[in-house]
Structure 1
Amino acid sequence: MLEAEFDQFAREYQEQHAASIRLSGETPDFFAKYKIDDVAATLGRAGVRPRRILDFGAGVGNSLGHMRNSFPDSEITLLDPSRESLDIARKRFPGQAAFTHFDGETIPFADGSFDLAFAACVFHHIPEAFQVGLLAEIGRVLADGGSFFLFEHNPWNPLTTHAVRNCAFDENAVLISSREMRGRLEAAGLAKTRINYRIFFPRLLARLRPFERFLTKIPVGAQYFAHVVKPAV
C-alpha cells in the first residue's frame, strides 16, 4: 500500500476494523493483546528479555499499550510509512515509544539495532514483489539471536476471509498462507521458521479456548504467527 492509502484510512481504522470482525464477537483490542501475550510467553519460556523492540508497520499503535505492559523496560520503536497513522499513535501514547516514519523500502536503522521485531498483520498489505526485500531488511536490523514474530491472517479460515472481504482498508489485501510466508522468510535469509496457528473459537465458544494450546499445528486457526530466531554469525 502507498503512504497515501494508509493515511486515508488512519482515522477510521478502529471503527472499520471493529465492523469487519464483528462475527468473531471480539474487539480489535482482543486481537492486539493476544499477539503480544503470545510473544511475551514465547520469549519468557526462553528466558529472553528484549531491550530494543521494533514494531514494523505499527499503524495507529494498537499493539503499543500491551507491548509496554509486557516489556516495561524496553525501548520500543513504532515504524510505519503512514505519517497520519504515526501521529495518531503518538497522541494515544505520548512519550511511550519512538515514532518513526520510513519510505516503505529501507528501514532507517543500523544493522543489529533490535532484539525483537514484530509485525502484526502487515504483509498482506504489501505487494508480493516487495515482501522478501522488506523481510530481509527486518533481518538486517535484527541482532544476532534476536527474534522476529510475524502474525498474519490465515486464508484457510472462512471467518477470516469473510472479515477481509468486508473491510475497506483490506480492499487491496492479498492473504498469504503460512507455507508461502515460510518460503518468503527463507528467501530473505530467515530460515528455521516455527509456525503456530491461533484463534480457533469465536467469543460464543470462548469456554473452549483453553484447548487451543493443543491445536497450534492445525492450519485452520483464524491467524498464524511465524517465529524466527536470527542465528549468530
Structure 2
Amino acid sequence: MDEAEFDRFADEYYQQHVASIRLSGEAPEFFHRYKVEDVAATLRGAGTTPLRILDFGAGVGNSLGAMTEAFPTSEIVLLDPSARSLEVARARHPGKAHFQHFDGGQIPFEDGAFDLVFAACVFHHIPSSFHVPLLKEIRRVMKRGASIFVFEHNPVNPLTRKAVRDCPFDENAVLISAGTMKARLRDAGLPDCSVAYRIFFPGFLSALRALEPMLRGVPLGAQYYVHAIKRDG
C-alpha cells in the first residue's frame, strides 16, 4: 500500500470521484450512504448493534457522516495508511471518530477489538498478494460474532469499468470479482460469507431501485459486497 500515492490524491479525491461517476447520475454521497445503510439494515435484521467499528482504508472519511447517523452510539475508528487523507478526514469531521494511521500491514489494535469492520472499495487499490494477509489481520481484531463487509466495484459491469478508467485515483486499481473476494475471505479464516450485488439502475432510472432487493443475487450490479461473520474465537 503506497502511502505517497494516497497522499497525492487526498485533497482532490472528491472532484475526481464526481467526474468519474457522472454517467451514474448520482453524487458521491449516494454511494457512500447506500453502503452504510446496507450494513445497518443487515445488522438490524440480525438484532445487533456494534459497539466499536473499524472503517478499514477510510481515506478522507467519506463514509463517516452516514456512519455516525446509522450508529450514533458506536465508537468509530478510521484506519488508513495515508496520513494526509486522515488529516483531511479529521478536518471534515472533528471529534466524530478516532483517526488512526497504520503501516499498511499490522493493525495497531488488540485482538478482538471490533464488532464491525467496514471496507468500502479499498482492496482494488491493494496488490493481490497482500489481500489474504490483511484479511487475516482484520480477522484478528474482530470479536467472535463480529461482521466484516467488503464493498468492491464489480468488474463485470461496463459502466463500472469506465468509471474506474476515468478516475485518476484508480489509475493502478485492479478490480476483483465477487467470487475471488469471497475466496480470499475464506482463505483468511472467514468461511461464513455471502455476496450481494448492488446498484443496477442509474439516476434517471432511480424509480426502479425498489426492485433491487430482488436482484441482489444477479451478478451484474455496479458494485457488490461480501459479508462475513467471525464464528470462532
TM-score (norm 2): 0.99
Q: Which residue of 2 aligns with 1:29?
A: 29
CA RMSD of superposed structures (Å):
0.6
| In structure 2, C-alpha distance between the alignment counterparts of 1:189 and 1:222, rounded to whole Å | 27
Q: Which residue of 2 aligns with 1:96?
A: 96
| In structure 1, C-alpha distance between the alignment counterparts of 2:208 and 2:74, rounded to whole Å | 34
Give the letter aligned to residue 193 of structure 1.
C
Following TM superposition, by how much is the alpha carbon of 1:89 offset from its aligned partner in structure 2, in angstroms? 0.3
Q: Which residue of 1 aligns with 2:82?
A: 82
| In structure 2, C-alpha distance between the alignment counterparts of 1:225 and 1:38, rounded to whole Å | 10
Q: Deviations over 1:49-73 (max 9, x none)?
A: 0000000000000000100000001
Q: Which residue of 2 aligns with 1:179?
A: 179
Q: Which residue of 1 aligns with 2:125?
A: 125
Following TM superposition, by how much is the alpha carbon of 1:211 offset from its aligned partner in structure 2, in angstroms? 0.3
Q: Which residue of 2 aligns with 1:68?
A: 68
| In structure 2, C-alpha distance between the alignment counterparts of 1:43 and 1:193, rounded to whole Å | 14
| In structure 1, C-alpha distance between the alignment counterparts of 2:105 and 2:188, rounded to whole Å | 14
| In structure 2, C-alpha distance between the alignment counterparts of 1:128 and 1:54, rounded to whole Å | 21
| In structure 2, C-alpha distance between the alignment counterparts of 1:232 and 1:124, rounded to whole Å | 28
| In structure 1, C-alpha distance between the alignment counterparts of 2:138 and 2:64, rounded to whole Å | 19
Q: Deviations over 1:139-176 (max 9, x none)?
A: 10000000000000000000000000111010000000
- Structural mapping, 1:159-178, within 5 Å: 159-178=159-178
SS in 2 for 1:105: coil
Q: Which residue of 2 aligns with 1:39?
A: 39
SS in 1 for 2:212: helix
Following TM superposition, by how much is the alpha carbon of 1:96 offset from its aligned partner in structure 2, in angstroms? 0.5
| In structure 1, C-alpha distance between the alignment counterparts of 2:160 and 2:192, rounded to whole Å | 26
SS in 2 for 1:165: helix
- Structural mapping, 1:1-40, within 5 Å: 1-40=1-40
CA contact (8 A) 2:121 2:152 kept: yes
CA contact (8 A) 2:192 2:230 kept: no
Give the letter aligned to residue 16 of structure 2.
Q
- Structural mapping, 1:43-54, within 5 Å: 43-54=43-54
Q: Deviations over 1:20-65 (max 9, x none)?
A: 0000000110000000000000000110000000000000000001
Q: Which residue of 1 aligns with 2:209?
A: 209
Following TM superposition, by how much is the alpha carbon of 1:232 offset from its aligned partner in structure 2, in angstroms? 3.0
Give the letter aligned to residue 227 of structure 1.
H
Following TM superposition, by how much is the alpha carbon of 1:194 offset from its aligned partner in structure 2, in angstroms? 0.6
- Any unmatched runs of 5+ in structure 1? none
| In structure 2, C-alpha distance between the alignment counterparts of 1:161 and 1:154, rounded to whole Å | 8
Following TM superposition, by how much is the alpha carbon of 1:192 offset from its aligned partner in structure 2, in angstroms? 1.9
Q: Deviations over 1:100-131 (max 9, x none)?
A: 00000000001000000000000000000111
SS in 1 for 2:184: helix
| In structure 2, C-alpha distance between the alignment counterparts of 1:219 and 1:110, rounded to whole Å | 36
Question: Are 2:127 and 1:144 aligned?
Answer: no
Count of residue correspondences = 233
SS in 1 for 2:76: strand
Following TM superposition, by how much is the alpha carbon of 1:178 offset from its aligned partner in structure 2, in angstroms? 0.4
Q: Which residue of 2 aligns with 1:114?
A: 114
Q: Give structure 1 regions of 4+ aligned residues with deviation exceeding 4 angstroms.
A: none
Give the letter aligned to residue 206 of structure 1.
S
CA contact (8 A) 2:190 2:230 kept: yes
